[in-house]
Amino acid sequence: MPEPAPPALQLPNQELDRALSLTRGEFAALAVSQRRTSRDWRSWLAGAAFVASLLGASGLMTLRERLSWSAHLEWWFLALGWAVGSIPIVLWARRNHRLLGEHRLLCPSCSEPLVDTWLPRGRGDRVLATGECLRCRTLLFPDEA
């Protein structure tokens, strides 16, 4: 079930069918809101679940050593830890990408995120400065002089 966008991210009188019909000011406001939303408790929970999964795998490896289980089990425990730990990370990344689309912060031409999605790299600032998609160079604010 899709969750509704937070009220702060909704702009009045938007033409949702027009690709990136945002002014630079609206884009900047949405980028700030997106940053806040993408780093809420869910991202911390996903990160914590990933670390917990790896710690669980490490615990199983220690247990294997103490109980003298077969050595090849270590690789299975490690693979299991990565696989289970990746699930919340993938879910978080998919949610993030969906929110970027809902907030029209993806390039209308190539779907590249127009703001930072994980580590801060100043992508939104560079998009604002150049007015272009950083990947395909599509002009994002063509109505502006």
List phi, psi (to 5°) of 106.
-110, 145
Distance of closest approach, residue 136 Cβ to Zn ion, in angstroms? 3
Q: Is residue 132 involved in binding Zn ion (CB under 5 A)?
A: no
11-70: contacts with Zn ion (CB under 5 A)? none
- How far is residue 23 from each of residues 16, 125, 128, measured CA to CA in Å? 14, 14, 10
Figure out which of the listed residues 5, 8, 90, 136 binds Zn ion, where binding follows CB under 5 A. Answer: 136
Residue 139's beta-bridge partner residues?
132
Q: Is residue 133 involved in binding Zn ion (CB under 5 A)?
A: yes
Q: Is residue 115 involved in binding Zn ion (CB under 5 A)?
A: no
Figure out which of the listed residues 102, 109, 131, 141 binds Zn ion, where binding follows CB under 5 A. Answer: 109
Q: Tokens 């949702």, residue?
A: 16
**Closer residue to Zn ion, CB minimum distance, 61 or 140:** 140
Scanning 12-20, 43-51, 75-83, 102-110 for contacts with Zn ion by CB under 5 A, the matching segment is: 102-110
Figure out which of the listed residues 9, 60, 107, 128 binds Zn ion, where binding follows CB under 5 A. Answer: 107
**Closer residue to Zn ion, CB minimum distance, 86 or 109:** 109
User: Are the C-beta atoms of residues 124 and 116 closer than 8 Å to each other?
Assistant: yes
User: Are the C-beta atoms of residues 117 and 96 closer than 8 Å to each other?
Assistant: yes
Q: How far apart are CA 108 and CA 100, in angstroms?
A: 12
Scanning 11-19, 40-48, 70-78, 105-113 for contacts with Zn ion by CB under 5 A, the matching segment is: 105-113
DSSP category for residue 18: S
Contacts of 109 (CB under 8 A, 6+ apart): 133, 136, 138
**Closer residue to Zn ion, CB minimum distance, 55 or 139:** 139
